[in-house]
Chains A and B, each alone.
Chain A
Amino acid sequence: MPETQAIQFKDAAARAAEAAAAPSGDTADLQGEKMVLNMGPSHPATHGVLRIVLELDGEIITAARPEIGYLHRGDEKIAENMTYTQFIPYTDRLDYLAPLANNVAYALAVEKLLGIDKDLPPRCQFIRVICCELARISSHLLGLGSYAMDLGALTIFLHTFTEREKIHNLAESLSGARFTTSYTRIGGLSRDLPHGWVDQCRQFCKQVVVNIDETETLLNRNRIFVDRTQGIGVISREEAINYGLSGPVLRGSNVDHDLRKAQPYLVYDQLQFDVPVGTAGDAYDRYLVRIEEMRQSVRMIHQCLDKLPGGPVNVADGKVAMPPKHRVLTGMEELIHHFIRVTQGINAPAGEIYFGHENPKGELGFYINSKGGGTPYRLKIRSPSFVNLSILQHMLPGHMVSDVVAILGSFDFVMGECDR
């Protein structure tokens, strides 16, 4: 039988008297005692499901342990069990803020394995560059908007999202979907540009430049923003290289490396553009690099739209690309090609390739090991967010808790890509 006990509440005066009577040694121990703080996985500044276990001495971080994997879906395992074409929709869900760029990266990797990456029709190559650069602008707009919002400047978020919405509209008329575009196909694109798209895109480019300028006016000399980002999260050139960082995070640390210049693919060698590079390697420099990259992307899109040639968007080889539907319904050879492409996939040669693509977040690489046939034997996704986040453990200690938000925002990572 449980006994009923009266609970004795102490009033404030009694508690104060008890605390004063306690030996001072008890409270002296609290000085310098470390506290463990769980940040995430559901924290607005982690932009997804990153969890960081912080060890704190007061407000100073003494140790940080990032925990990832909350969004792991086994994409690499899935890829081993389906044809090359079937995996394209999964690439949308890697860096889900720039699906068009992922589509292009994956298609180029498979085309490199097939040995047809140099034979793509020029129109396809130009459209793919436009897609990549639109995706870069879209990703950076979101990255900057949410970054500024994390640091207390809500206006920027509303500003950049207005423009980002227009990119989604363009993607919708391009592929039928706003986010999960799946626009590329092995050896080409799912469809050509719709009527009037070029003009819409030109108009968008004119509008987004104004928006970027406004964003810069609001942030570049904003006292709060500058104080919270300058000198915060400094990565030296040597550290950036040693940790294998890529993308704006690498270039913010004064490493002049951009795969579009270093290993030109598609038609990037025919375009005029500059690669912005930071000097201090802090969060502010990474912000500046992203702003300038958007301007360069707009510059590239203008050039591509000017030069955009006519012609087909798919390779003519029926053993790679799907024949057009009206031919399938009338021709015997096209029907056979269609049937084989759907049931068996593309017959890739045995061999292995690595293709690195300059994605908005950094180097998105696909390593494909093929033993021949329609499915890869092993497909490894080298995701930029995964590698970029690995430096957190090293660089967070010594910063204040509030700096974590500023540092994470400046990395601009996506957990869908990090965890795969």
Chain B
Amino acid sequence: MSALELAQRLRARFSDLFSEPAEFRGEISMTVSDAERMPEIGAFARTDLGFDYLVDITSIDNYGEDPRFTLVYHLYGYGHRCYLRLKTNVSEEKAEAPTVIGVWLTANWHEREIYDMMGIRFRGHPDLRRILMWEGYPHFPLRKDFPLSGRPTEVPEVAFTDAAPLAGGPFVTIAGGKDTVAREPRVRIPDTDELETNSRLERRLDIKEAHGQAFGPGPIEPAKGS
């Protein structure tokens, strides 16, 4: 069975959700209109269509467009040896999608990496911590508005636009903190030099109060009462 036939079967099952399969260089991609349905789609693809191997999940930052983020799932089946790519959009305001760990356990670290690098949260993930950067790091490096060394930027408090000083710069951790959050200099309020040990979101609010601006392109604060 070819990848196109499998894509058509998936589309027949969830007819209202899928775009027309697009083919490029022999690969089939489909766009899912509702990210909330991904676990359901994944479960069907795995059990009924034989996509037992989740190769990869990644994310794209379409900076300046709406919706801002795209999640990309690469599926493969050991039985039929076909690849399939599923894409779904996530808005910047929401920056959240349901986890697919229930379908493929390998999604665990992939989703942590996406959260770490791009700031998209996965609802239902059992252990959504930073994975490549350290806990307490205030930015999401793979977002397009995060700068490279020497490039001008609008992200505040990022030392990448100047040469980092050897001592006391934002990359020099503060000695004596009991964890990486406490040692992260960028999450301290400069005047009081208070060590923030509360959760990441609350800390962002504190800093916002002290500075009058948000601290980098951090996660969107959850709506009250949700």
The answer to the question of B198 belonging to the interface, with a C-beta cut-off of 8 Å to chain A, is no
Among A365, A378, A419, find the residue whose CB has the most chain B CB atoms closer than 10 A: A378
- Give residues 35-59 of B contacting A (CB, 8 Å): 52-56, 58
Establish whether residues B24 and A352, one from each chain, have CB atoms under 8 Å apart when the complex forms.
Answer: yes
The answer to the question of A295 belonging to the interface, with a C-beta cut-off of 8 Å to chain B, is no
The answer to the question of A363 belonging to the interface, with a C-beta cut-off of 8 Å to chain B, is yes
Q: Given that A72-B133, A353-B27 are known contacts, is A241 also in contact with B56, CB under 8 Å in the complex?
A: no
Q: How far is the CA of A420 from the CA of B113 in the complex (A)?
A: 12
The answer to the question of A367 belonging to the interface, with a C-beta cut-off of 8 Å to chain B, is yes
The answer to the question of B109 belonging to the interface, with a C-beta cut-off of 8 Å to chain A, is yes
Query: Per-position contact with B for A393-420: 1 when CB-CB < 8 Å, else 0?
Result: 0100000000000000000000000011
Chain A residue contacts of B132, Cβ below 8 A: 68-69, 72, 419-420
Closest A residue to B107 by CB, please name it.
A244
Q: What is the CB-to-nearest-CB distance from B71 to chain A, in angstroms, rounded to a whole number?
A: 12
Establish whether residues B55 and A365, one from each chain, have CB atoms under 8 Å apart when the complex forms.
Answer: yes
Establish whether residues B27 and A354, one from each chain, have CB atoms under 8 Å apart when the complex forms.
Answer: yes
Establish whether residues A382 and B142, one from each chain, have CB atoms under 8 Å apart when the complex forms.
Answer: no
Q: How far is the CA of A42 from the CA of B162 in the complex (A)?
A: 31
Q: Given that A76-B142, A77-B141 are known contacts, is A115 also in contact with B56, CB under 8 Å in the complex?
A: no
Q: What is the CB-to-nearest-CB distance from B135 to chain A, in angstroms, rounded to a whole number?
A: 10
Q: How far is the CA of A121 from the CA of B81 in the complex (A)?
A: 27
The answer to the question of B60 belonging to the interface, with a C-beta cut-off of 8 Å to chain A, is yes
- Give residues 198-252 of A contacting B (CB, 8 Å): 241-244
Q: How far is the CA of A72 from the CA of B116 in the complex (A)?
A: 12
Q: What is the size category of the interface that chain B forms with chain A?
A: 35 or more
Chain B residue contacts of A365, Cβ below 8 A: 55-56, 74
Chain A residue contacts of B178, Cβ below 8 A: none
Interface residue ranges, B against A (CB under 8 Å): 24-25, 27, 29, 52-56, 58, 60-61, 72, 74, 78, 81, 83, 85, 104-106, 108-110, 113, 117, 130-134, 141-142, 146, 148
8 shortest interchain CB distances as A-B pairs: A244-B106, A69-B132, A380-B58, A390-B109, A382-B56, A72-B132, A351-B24, A242-B105
Other than the given A77-B146, A382-B74, 16 more pairs (CB < 8 A) read: A68-B132, A69-B131, A69-B134, A76-B117, A81-B148, A241-B78, A244-B53, A244-B106, A257-B78, A351-B24, A354-B55, A354-B83, A369-B72, A378-B60, A380-B56, A380-B58
Interface residue ranges, A against B (CB under 8 Å): 68-69, 72, 74, 76-78, 81, 112-113, 115, 241-244, 255, 257, 262-263, 351-354, 356, 363, 365, 367, 369, 377-378, 380, 382, 386-387, 389-390, 394, 419-420
